[in-house]
Amino acid sequence: MEAATAQAAGVQPKRRSRGVPERRLAWYMVSPSLVLIALVAVYPIVYAVWLSLHQYSLINAGEVRWALPSAPFGNYTDALWGQDSAAFWSAFRTTFIFTIASVIFELLIGIAMAMAMHAAFKGQGILRTVILVPWAVLTVVTAITWQTIFEPELGFVNTMLGAVGLPDDTIWLGSEPEALIVMIIADVWKTAPFMALLILAGLQVIPNEIYEAGKVDGATGWQRFRKLTLPLLMPAILVALIFRTLDALRIFDLPFVLTKGAQGTDTLSLISYETFQQNRLVGEGSALAVLTFVIVMAVSFLYIRFIGGNLKTMAEE
Amino acid sequence: MEAASVPAAVERAGKKTKVRDPAKPRTPWWLWLAVAGIVVFCLFPFYWLLNTSLKTGADLSTSALVPPSPTLSNYEAIFRDANFTIALKNSAIVALVTTALSLIVGSFCAYALARLRMKRKFLILAIVLSISTFPQIAIAAPIFKLWRDVGLYNTIPGLVIPYLTFALPLTIYILTSFFKEIPRDLEEAALVDGATNFEAFRKVVVPLAAPGLATAGILTFIAAWNEFLLAITLTSSTSARTVPAAIAFFTGATQFEQPLGTISAASVIISIPLILLVLLFQKRIVAGLTAGAVKG
């Protein structure tokens, strides 16, 4: 009753209802998710840290020995400057080369695609559907697709290179650094469309009046792009960049299917998998996983800083 | 202005231009070229996969644009292979159960975050989001050890449970931004009529949020269907392997046969559900992908 009068008077109505008080209901509704997240994400990470500080090989499961390694933080020192450091730093390098190269190309192609889609009013729906195909295709399928394309005889790449007089006998996935290049191309194909969609959404909220004003002031197309579009697009670009960077740093499926990590394509996630799953060295593998985690979290710290404001507005009423 | 209104923004933008430039409705040639470029870039690689899947024998060592003697025998071969058909069934179960679970649990959480008064909302949302940035490998190693100890290794539930680490944050994030778009008036009216907060959620908000639920469901399904790292880490045999994992270990019918033909056929088959989803729900998917990413 009171509420109705308040609303009629144009005042924010006081929410009053039977049942559980609002604040307590909110916690009831949030807690199942929080408990699940704690169980399936937080607890495993804590356990990974514990495992990484211990050594135990599942191969000698008969003589169960879970103990601290002889040297403190032995799994970490082995990975960083001990016996396994060559593999770790090589994977570190590969992961960062892959991330930087693929994200830069994805961004450039994504911006170009978004601008073209924004300008083409006719058939935009069809274009969006087309552009979603690489995004929706499984990463494993992406890897197989590019494997068929770069396969020396079956693929069209060598045939095309031969047609223009270039060497046509490259064994792409069997050479270094060619294998890494194929991996980058496959990733750019799969995710540039995602970038394009995020950037297109950013373009569409820029009011047309701004361009009109720019035109009146006599700005050229390039000037309008650099001085008007790009700054206004920055938030959308940053979000897309950070999403993609975090994803690229975790890359696993592409090198697994393309090369099984051979020819300089071993990434951080992949060497960790090889260590704990294939070699059954759970402690050592966990240390590599924790290192990967720390690296990705350090980068995602930037992410929270950039879109932290965005999050805050979402959480506020 | 948020995600859901993006398609509307497109329409508005389109109309505006038509009104502004009635004399110049023609698209310039370079734009057509760019559009054609995008279409070729996106579709031609997938065509090559399709092309390969229709080749067998000697055709598999030619780069012919069209298979010289097209055949469906690769498709017949994979459907005769129990490794593939069981994996297909496992994939469907894992993806559907993961989606259903995270929609049920996640919608409660999202509603509270979007609508109810509570403390530490920002903290909760930040935790949920940062979980989605966790590298999967960091949970794969400990869960591998844990599942082997408790007997969940190489089982379907053993996959569904860790899949929630990416499915729940995705659902919560998308649904929170959708719930915020629903006008408050209807809910307020229900509350005035004496409904409890929970009844208002169940009877008013959930039906109105159906498009949002569909979007979150589609994106979660796709993510679960695509998942690979946990799928190969936490399974060891056909009984629980999902399709992506099965394909990665596929080695062709005989040792001497180039296995790319059959692998391509399997790849085409498992892409079909995803391509259907894209064709049917393009707008929803775009709205979900851009949810919260762009603020108007």
User: A102 or B19: which carries more pLDDT confidence?
Assistant: A102
Residue A309 reports pLDDT greater than 80: no
Residues of A in Cβ contact (< 8 Å) with B270: 138, 141
Q: How far is residue B128's CA from residue B18's CA, in Å, rounded to a whole number?
A: 43
Q: What is the pLDDT of residue A317?
A: 43
Residue A272 reports pLDDT greater than 70: yes
With CA atoms as reference, the chain B residue closest to A24 would be B118
pLDDT band at B295 (very low <50, low <70, confident <90, very high): very low
With CA atoms as reference, the chain B residue closest to A7 would be B188
Using CB atoms and an 8 Å cut-off, which of residues 225-254 of chain B contact chain A?
225-226, 228-229, 232-233, 244, 247-248
Domain boundaries, chain A: 16-52, 84-315
Buried b (16+ CB within 10 A) or exposed e, A70-89: eeeebbbbbbeeeebeebbe
Residues of A in Cβ contact (< 8 Å) with B134: 41, 45, 293, 296
Please choose, from the candidates B41, B51, B62, the residue with its C-alpha nearest in 3D space to the C-alpha of residue A159.
B62
Residues of A in Cβ contact (< 8 Å) with B38: 113, 116-117, 127, 130-131
**How far from B112 is each of A218, B115, B185, B287, CA to CA, in Å?**
50, 5, 17, 22
| A34, A40, A120 member nearest B31 (Cβ) | A120
Could you read off the pLDDT of B11-37 as tens digits, one per residue?
444 444 444 444 455 667 888 888 889
Q: For A5-21, give the DSSP string.
A: HHHHTTSPPPP--SSS-
B46 in contact with A, Cβ within 8 Å: yes
User: B156 or A167: which carries more pLDDT confidence?
Assistant: B156
> Quick one: average pLDDT of B89-112?
94
| B135, B145, B292 member nearest A310 (Cβ) | B292
Residue A122 reports pLDDT greater than 50: yes
A290 in contact with B, Cβ within 8 Å: yes
B145 in contact with A, Cβ within 8 Å: yes
Distance from CA of B85 to the nearest CA of A (A): 17
- Give the CA dihedral B200, B202, B203, B206, nearest 10 degrees: 110
Distance from CA of B89 to the nearest CA of A (A): 17
Q: How far is residue A287's CA from residue A56's CA, in Å, rounded to a whole number?
A: 12
Could you read off the pLDDT of A127-152 as tens digits, one per residue?
888 999 999 899 999 999 999 899 88
ipTM of the complex: 0.83
B167 in contact with A, Cβ within 8 Å: no
With CA atoms as reference, the chain B residue closest to A16 would be B191
Substitution target from A23, A56, A144, A259 for chain B, most B beta carbons within 10 A: A144
Q: What is the pLDDT of residue B248?
A: 84
User: SS3 for B250?
Assistant: coil
- Domain A84-315: CATH class, spelled out: mainly alpha
With CA atoms as reference, the chain B residue closest to A5 would be B192
Q: What is the pLDDT of residue A248?
A: 93
Q: How far is residue B213's CA from residue B202's CA, in Å, rounded to a whole number?
A: 13
Domains in chain B, ordered, with CATH? 81-289 (1.10.3720.10)
In this structure, of A53-62, A76-85, B44-53, B265-274, the range with the lowest mean pLDDT score is: A53-62
